[in-house]
Amino acid sequence: MTVAPPTAKEGTGGRPVPPSGWLAWVTSTDHKRIGVLTIATSLVLFLVMGTFALTMRAQLAQPEQHLVSTELYNQLFTIHGSGMIYMVVTPFAIGMGVYLVPLQIGAPGIAIPRLTLLGYWLYALGALVMLAGFATPGGAHADGWFSYPPMADSVHSPGAGSDLWIAGVFLATTGTIVMGWAVLWTGLRKRTHGMTMLRLPVFSWSMIATCLMVIGAFPALLAALGLLAVGRANPAIFEANVWNIGYQHLFWFYGHPVVYVMFFPYLAAVSEVLAVFSGRRFFGYRGTVLSLLVFAGLSMSVWGHHMFATGQATNDYYSLTSIALLVPAGVEYFAMIGTILGGRLRLGPPMLFALAFIPQFLIGGLTGIMLGTPVIDYHVTDSYFVVAHLHYVLFAGSAFGLFAAVYFWFPKVTGVMLGDRAGRLHFWLLVIGTNVTFLPMFALGYLGMPRRVSAYASFEGFGWLNLLSSVGAAFLAASVLVFAVNVLWTLRRRTLGSAERAPDDPWGGHTLEWATTSPPPRLNFTPDHPVPPVTSFAPLLDQRQRREEGAAAGDGSRP
Amino acid sequence: MIQRHIFGHVFALEALIAAGVFVVVLALLVYALLRRRAGRQATASRRTERPRLEAYYVAVLTAFGVFLVAWTAWQNHREHHTAERPPVRVDVSSFQWCWTFSYPQAPQRRSASGTCRGDDLPTLVVPTGRPVKLRLTSRDVIHSLWVPELRYKMDAFPDHVNSFTLTLDREGRWMGKCAEFCGLRHHTMHFWIKAVSPEEYHRFLQGQQGGGGQGAAA
Ligand code: HEM
Ligand SMILES: [Cu+2]
Ligand SMILES: [Cu+2]
């Protein structure tokens, strides 16, 4: 991405390389630059993985089509799913934390900045390594994002692409874990004076819960990948059932918490947007914080719900823990709905995405409870019903949160406003595209279409629903194109100096990042832009309310 | 078809509840959009929480969760309750990329297999009205036996045998599929399941034609 860096006029960096050159960017220990690098990299990868998805949707638009070979199709769904999860939605979430948490807590920087930068590099390298699989003779890895053995061992997936997949995912996940530690440590140890734990903004709290899951659960993925690597060296290992089922346990011990890593930061971004654009304090703050922590704890006890059909899991137990999740999830909805019900809503682009998140994510959540019911899961697991469910959670949910976050913080990060009209067009195309693409998939799965199939027969009757879904995908493509053009165009105009300049606080924000300049200086706060007094989790709102009250008391005649 | 029956009940109830919750949330959202717009001179509330209301709400959610867990677990047990009568046994062996169905109770071992290419799909023949116990395993990677019409599937692992019991209460022929990604021809790894009358099943086991499929005495 062509993010031209802000010319840092305050020059507190004190480094010999020119501050706006590319070298300064890729070696910077400024958390804001590392955050922007992470976010920009994941957005580029989002476009790549998105084109893979469009290719798949083109193939499935009609029965028995073969635009791409089955070999390639299998690689596409594998790299699309792996890329989106390991290298787009997760790193973007952590990248937001790297950028925002130090600002929100009034810190001049991040804890362990050099390691954070290393984390970014491991992540970027991992993505390249995984994608390099396409350049090998056998093509990229083709066994899905969870790659169960023995299918993923060297007997059944002999290509070097599979080795590259393991290496790439391992590197990227290691990088994510390192960045997760940095964000967690920052949130716990670098809070400014007055910033108690219960004055942390919702977003920062969500990052703490997220990073607890990252460090608690992500190592299980590294272990699973290690097992897979060992099994590729010696395939005899996967002749024993214990290692096959053991892999699934290891994998899903990571695999469920990662779902919440891809959910909390976006939920919290939505919450911040809802509160700011409702012109009020976020409602039910303490309940939300508590529910995030309960959620994070429970998240590590539910993994077996991905294994109901294996006949080798304690289904009653995993069903209990999974359904129990509806309580903390319900609390979060209570808070979001409560916020807007008592608000004074302004419908700028960030707010549109945040509002759409509420019902759309709910569809993913409600169908998740269904999938947590073994009797239902036996039928719909490994079918398009699950594909629909996971895309409602990750795309209709998290991606809407992601876009809300981009529109919301873009002015802060770049110093210019992102186009409003194009933002609205992007939003409406995205709402149409999302629902037209993913709603039919629930029906397809119910009617018997398995996931991960490169083609289906015409007599199966899946034709028109698939066609509908592919038409929706065209709307998604158009929508993301509008977004990309909007961002690039705005950045281009910024370089030319003709973009609309962003004030420090364009939206009437609540949290500390809005008290400093846009973009923030190297050490975040300066004597002219000091850290305001932290009186609650919405210090800027407090300040405004105090001022209003002062004014009201002053003229004494206001109603 | 106890699986289909129970699935139907549980799915209908949960879908109904889900739809109800969705409608309520959507209604609140629309209400907020209509009534709380800045243009409508709404003033933002300063209330930060409603702990009382929230506590009641959590209690209701919890009670509902308890009901859901208990009720669906009960349904799950009902579904897997094995009938008293000794079941008919069929051994299912999956492999890349097709199925073999063997009938250990036949006088001479019978089994049916195929290539799962084009129309060459193997047929699993079962009698109606009697419990049929499928013993499921794999010769290579993990597969999963899914009969959408029966609303049930179970994975087939190498070095492990899974079993489940089916009872079909009417004659007919339905398509079954592999539901776990297993490589290149996963998408064509289909089979037929055919339910026939007990008499016909008896004849089939004796090796007379009537069962259909590529049933060859092995
Ligand atoms: C945030 C964005 C997205 C995420 C996180 C995501 C994630 C995933 C995952 C995890 C899988 C499963 C891969 C596997 O089976 O191993 C998948 C499959 C798939 N996705 Fe996405 N996806 C996203 C966006 C999209 C979009 C926008 C489309 C449509 C244009 C799409 C279409 C598909 C298709 C067609 C499959 C293959 C389903 C199958 O054969 O099982 N995805 N995606
Ligand atoms: Cu899960
Ligand atoms: Cu298969």
Rounded to two decimals, the ipTM of the complex is 0.93
User: A38 with A91: CB under 8 angstroms?
Assistant: yes
Low-confidence ranges of chain A (pLDDT < 50): 1-14, 556-559
Q: Report the Cα–Cα distance between both ends of chain B, in Å, rounded.
A: 30
pLDDT confidence of residue A23: 87
DSSP code at position A502: P
Residue B199 has a CB neighbour count (10 Å cut-off) of 10
Domain ranges of chain A: 32-553
Question: Which of the ligands is closest to the CA of residue B141?
Answer: 3
> Which residues in chain A have Cβ-Cβ distances shorter than 8 Å to B7?
375-376, 378-379
CA A283 to chain centre: 23
Among the atoms of ligand 1, which is closest to the Cα of residue A262?
5
Order of strands, edge to edge, in the sheet holding B123-127?
B123-127, B190-196, B172-178, B143-147, B152-156
Q: Is the pLDDT of residue B128 over 70?
A: yes
pLDDT confidence of residue A11: 45
Q: Any idea how long chain B is?
A: 218
User: B131 with B169: CB under 8 angstroms?
Assistant: no
Count how many pairs of residues, chain A against chain B, have C-beta atoms within 8 Å: 231
Q: What is the pLDDT of residues A222-269, one digit of tens each?
A: 999 999 999 999 999 999 999 999 999 999 999 999 999 999 999 999
Angle between the B51-80 and A326-341 helix axes, to the nearest 10 degrees?
A: 140
A89 touches ligand 1 (CB under 6 Å): yes
Domain B88-217: give its CATH code.
2.60.40.420
Q: Helices (H) and strands (E) in chain B — how many of each?
A: 3, 11
Order of strands, edge to edge, in the sheet holding B88-95?
B162-167, B131-138, B88-95, B98-103, B110-113, B216-217
Q: Is the pLDDT of residue B215 over 70?
A: no
* CATH superfamily of this structure's domain A32-553: Cytochrome c oxidase-like, subunit I domain (1.20.210.10)
Interface contact B54-A366, CB threshold 8 A: no
Q: Find the CB nearest A283 among B48, B152, B154.
A: B48
pLDDT confidence of residue A90: 98
Nearest protein CA to atom 5 of ligand 1, as residue: A84
Give the C-alpha separation, A302 to A513, whole Å: 36
Give the C-alpha separation, A320 to B72, whole Å: 10
User: B166 with B126: CB under 8 angstroms?
Assistant: yes
Among the atoms of ligand 1, which is closest to the Cα of residue A56?
35
Give the C-alpha separation, B88 to A204, whole Å: 60
Distances (CA, A) of A290 to A94, A285, B202: 21, 9, 63
User: A287 with A331: CB under 8 angstroms?
Assistant: yes
Residue A64 has a CB neighbour count (10 Å cut-off) of 9
**Peptide bond between residue A201 and the one before it cis (omega within 30 degrees of 0):** no
pLDDT confidence of residue B208: 60
Domain ranges of chain B: 2-36+51-79, 88-217
Q: What is the pLDDT of residues A272-328, one digit of tens each?
A: 999 999 999 999 999 999 999 999 999 999 999 999 999 998 888 899 999 999 999
Span B199-210, average pLDDT: 80
CA A144 to chain centre: 20
Beta strands at B190-196 and B123-127: parallel, antiparallel or unpaired: parallel
Q: Could you give the residue ranges of the DSSP H alpha helices within A194-240?
A: 202-233
